Amino acid sequence: MIAAHHHVVDGARLQTDQQLEADVVIVGTGAGGGVAAELLARSGLRVIMLETGPLQVARDFDMQEQRAYNRLYAEGGNLTTADYSIALLRGRAVGGGTTVNWTTSLRTPVQTVEYWVDRFGLPEVAEEKIAPWFDWAERRFNIKPWEVAPNANNEVLKTGCEKLGLEWAVIPRNVKGCADLGYCGMGCPLGAKQSMLVTTIPSALEYGASLYARTRAWKLEIRHGNVEALIAQALDEQSINPTGVNIRIRAKHYLLAGGAIQSPALLMRSGAPDPYRVLGKRSFLHPVNTSLARMPMAVDAFFGAPQSIYSDHYQWPDGAEGPAGFKLEVPPIHPGLAAGILGWHGEKLAGEMKELPRINALLALQRDGFDKQSPGGVVELQSDERGVLDYPLNEHLWDGVRRAWHAMAEIQFAAGAQAVMPGHLDAGFATSLAGVSAQIDRLPLEPYKAALFSAHLMGGCGMGANPRESVIAASGRHHQLENLTVVDGSVFPTSVGANPQLSIFAQAARMTTGLAREMQPGALADLP
Amino acid sequence: MRLAAAVRQRYFDRMRPRNRQEDWQESRSFDPQRRRFLGGLAGAAWLAGTGGVVSGCSSSNVLRVPLAAVEADLLRVLAPSVLHGLLPIQPNERTDSLNELLSAVSTSVSSLSGDSREQLARLLAALDYRVTRWLLTGLWKPLAEASIEEIDEFLNNWRNSSIGRFNLAYRTLTRLLVNNWFVLPAHFAQAGYPGPPSWAVELNVLRDV
C-alpha cells in the first residue's frame, strides 16, 4: 500500500517550478513503468516516476461507472482513433492500464515470439530466453489460472466452444484474495488485483523512489544523441490542462513507459532522431468487434471475474501471416457502457436495456501487424502537440471482422442463445444462425456503422535489430539515443495476439534488469 | 428534401479530414469519393463555427464546463427523443431527471481534452445554426420547436445514413446522453442492474487506507 511516509507529489497542488535530479526518470506507471520502478529502486538507484493521471486508491474505487471513467480513463473513456472509428479504453491513473484492466494475464503466444525472432532479428526474446521472465512475473503478480467457476457470461463462450468442438482455455489472472466481484474495470475496491498500484509502485516508494501524479512528461531536451533533461508539466485537477508549473528533471537515464500513443508522441515532440521515419509507425490495437446474444437465462454479466475463458481456435488460421486471426473473449457488461455501445435510442433502447441481465457479449480481438496487409496505424502529433493514433481500416481487417461475427454467432447459438446480433448499426437480433449469418454477409463494412473498440495499444516504438525498421534495440535502448530506453506496450513489433499486460511485464523486467545491471553492477542477482 | 440532399453532397465534397497526414489516401482501401464524405460532419460544424455565425456558443468553440446555456438547452431538447421511454412522464420528475442528466453530462465533458470538446461543441453549434441544422436534419425551425417525432426521425436518418459522418454524429450524440443516463444509480433498475453488491460498498466505505 502507498503510505504516508512515501514521497508522493500531486502535480495539481504544486505552486512553483521544480528542478529535480535522479538516476532514472520513468515516464508512466503502468505495466512497464511500474515493473521498471521497482527493479531500479531495488537496485539502489534514485528513481522518479511521472504519471499523467491522478493517484486513486482502493477506497476511491466505488464501483460506479461514472466516477471510474471520469477519473481512471483517458478522455473519460471517450478516447478514439483519429477518425473516431475505433473507441480506445486507455487507463490513465497511477498504475496505468493495470489499475483498470480485466486482469487477463496471458503469455505472448509462441507463434508471435517466433515471428519476432525471425522477422525482426530478435533472438533475445526467443521462447527459452523469455520464459524465465514470464515465470518471474507470474510469481511477482500471483498469476494463476482462475480456479473459480466462470461467470455465466464466460460460461457462454466455454459451452459454445465445447458444443462445437473448438479449443478454449481458462484465463490466468493477477489476483490475490479476489472475491469474484466483477469491477476490475473500475479499479479493484478490495486491492485484490495485483496491479502496479498495490505491488511495484508501493515497493518502489518504499525503496525511496518518488512519484509525481498529475504530471505530464512534455519534452526531452536532446543534444548530440543524448537526453539532457526532461520537462514535465504539472496538470490541473482533471489531469488535462497544464497549471503553468513546470518540472525540469535531469537524470542519467530516461525510461519511457507512457504507452503506445504517449511514448512515440513524447519522442516526436522532442524532435528525437528518427532517420528512417519509423517512429510512431506500426501501431497496433487488436481491433475488437462484438456480438451480442440474448440468452434464455440470467447472465448478469456485470458480476463475476470479467474474463476467465478464451478461445484461440481462430487465432492462427494460416500461421502468423495470411488472413486476419482473432482471439475470442468476453467483456463485463455494465449499463452505462452497454447503453452507449448498443447504438440505439428512445423506446428501442429502453426495451433492449430492460433485457440487459440476459445479454451475453463476445469479443473478437483481431491480431494485427503480422501480414503485409496489416500495417497498423500511425501515431502523429495534433496541432496542440498531443499524440493521436490514425488507424486506417482496410479489407484485411474487415475480412477478419466479418468472419469473427460469423464465428461468435455460431458459438452463441451453440450455447443456447435465443437471438444474436452483431455490433453494427444496421444489425438487429436474429433468432437463428441462418438468419444472423445472412445478415452478417450483407452488413456494410464501414467505420461508425461497425462498433469497434480497443483496450490494447501496442507498437509505435517497435524493437528490432535493424534501425531501418525499428525504434529500439532488443535491450529496449533507443537506436539513436544512448541514455533512453522504452519499456511499455509500444515496444512490440506487431500486436501480441493476447491481452498484453503479461507480455509488457516480462519485456519490461528483462530490459530494466539489463539497464540496472549496467548502471549498478551486481544488481538484481535474484532475477534471470 | 432532394434539394437538401444535393446541397449536402456539394457541401461534404469540400470537407477535409481531421489529420494532417496527407498520404492517407494511399493507405486506405475505400474509394476517395466516399472518403470525402467522411470529413463531412466535423467539417459542417467547422464551417458553422468559424464563420462567427453561431450565436450563444463560446467564441473559442470549445465546450465549457458548466455547459453554456445554448448547449445545455439543445441537449435538453434532444433528451426526450433520445431517452423516450426512459424519462419520467410526470413534469416535475422529468425536470429533475433532466437536471441530473445534464449535470452528469457536464462531469463527463469536464474529463474531455480540448479537441474532443471542440468536436462536440461544433456538432452542437451546427445543430443550433439554422443553415447547418437544415443541412444536417432537414429542419429549418429551431429544435426547441420540433416535436419528439421530428427529432426521432432525423436521429434515425443519421443512424441509417450511408454517410459515415452521420452515423458518427448519431453515435456521438446519443452516447453522450444514454451513457450518462445509465451511469446514474437512479436508472440502474431500467437496465435490470442491482448496482454493486452492498457488502463490497460497505466494506469500502469503512476502509481507512
Tell me the β-bridge partners of A88.
A454
Query: CB neighbours of A11 closer than 8 A, spacing ≥ 6?
Result: A212, A213, A214, A215, A216, A232, A233, A234, A235, A243, A245, A247
Cell representation of residue A324: 486476419
CB A355 within 8 A of CB A296: no
Cβ distance of B85 and A448 shorter than 8 Å = no
Mean pLDDT of chain A: 97
Q: Which chain B residues touch A448 with a CB distance below 8 Å?
A: 164-165, 167-168, 171
- Smallest Cα distance from B142 to chain A, Å: 21
The ranges assigned to domains in chain A are 147-172+288-367+394-446
- Smallest Cα distance from B134 to chain A, Å: 22
- Smallest Cα distance from A356 to chain B, Å: 6
Which residues of B, range 34-93, sit inside 8 Å of A by Cβ?
38, 81-86
Q: For chain A, which residues score pLDDT lower than 50?
A: none
- Smallest Cα distance from B200 to chain A, Å: 8
Query: Is some CB atom of chain A closer than 8 A to the CB atom of B111?
Result: yes
- Smallest Cα distance from A394 to chain B, Å: 5
Q: Which of A52, A62, A84 to mutate to test the interface with B (most CBs of B within 10 A)?
A: A84
Largest CA distance in chain B: 65
**What pLDDT, in 10s, does the model give residues B106-133?**
999 999 887 888 888 999 999 999 999 9
Is the dihedral angle over the CA atoms A467, A471, A473, A478 positive or is it negative? positive
pLDDT of residue B39: 40
Which residue among A349, A354, A378 sits closest to B21, beta carbon to beta carbon?
A378
Query: Is some CB atom of chain A closer than 8 A to the CB atom of B33?
Result: no
Tell me the β-bridge partners of A253.
A24
First CA to last CA distance, chain B? 62
Q: Which of B178, B188, B207 to mutate to test the interface with A (most CBs of A within 10 A)?
A: B178
- What architecture does CATH give domain A147-172+288-367+394-446? 2-Layer Sandwich (3.30)
pLDDT of residue B61: 65
Q: Which of B28, B109, B113 to mutate to test the interface with A (most CBs of A within 10 A)?
A: B113
pLDDT of residue B19: 39
Cell representation of residue B62: 470549445
pLDDT of residue A361: 98
Query: Is some CB atom of chain A closer than 8 A to the CB atom of B175?
Result: yes
Tell me the β-bridge partners of A228.
none
How many Å is the Cα radius of gyration of chain A? 22
Cα–Cα dist A378/A381, whole Å: 10
Q: Which chain B residues touch A62 with a CB distance below 8 Å?
A: 196, 201, 204
pLDDT of residue B117: 86
- Smallest Cα distance from A274 to chain B, Å: 17
| Inter-chain CB pairs, A–B, below 8 Å | 193
How is residue B68 annotated by DSSP? P
Cβ distance of A338 and B191 shorter than 8 Å = yes
pLDDT of residue B4: 53
Cβ distance of A380 and B21 shorter than 8 Å = yes
Cα–Cα dist A137/A135, whole Å: 6
- ipTM attached to this prediction: 0.95
Q: If you average pLDDT over residues B42-64, what whole number do you get?
A: 46
Query: Is some CB atom of chain A closer than 8 A to the CB atom of B159?
Result: yes
Question: Three-class SS of residue A41?
Answer: helix
Residue B46 pLDDT greater than 70, yes or no:
no
Cell representation of residue A73: 480513463
Cβ distance of A69 and B20 shorter than 8 Å = no
CB A524 within 8 A of CB A39: yes
> Cell 526518470, residue?
A25
**What pLDDT, in 10s, does the model give residues B152-208?**
999 999 999 999 999 999 999 999 999 999 999 999 999 999 999 999 998 877 765
CB A156 within 8 A of CB A304: no
Query: CB neighbours of A477 closer than 8 A, spacing ≥ 6?
Result: A484, A485
What percent of chain B stands above pLDDT 90? 56
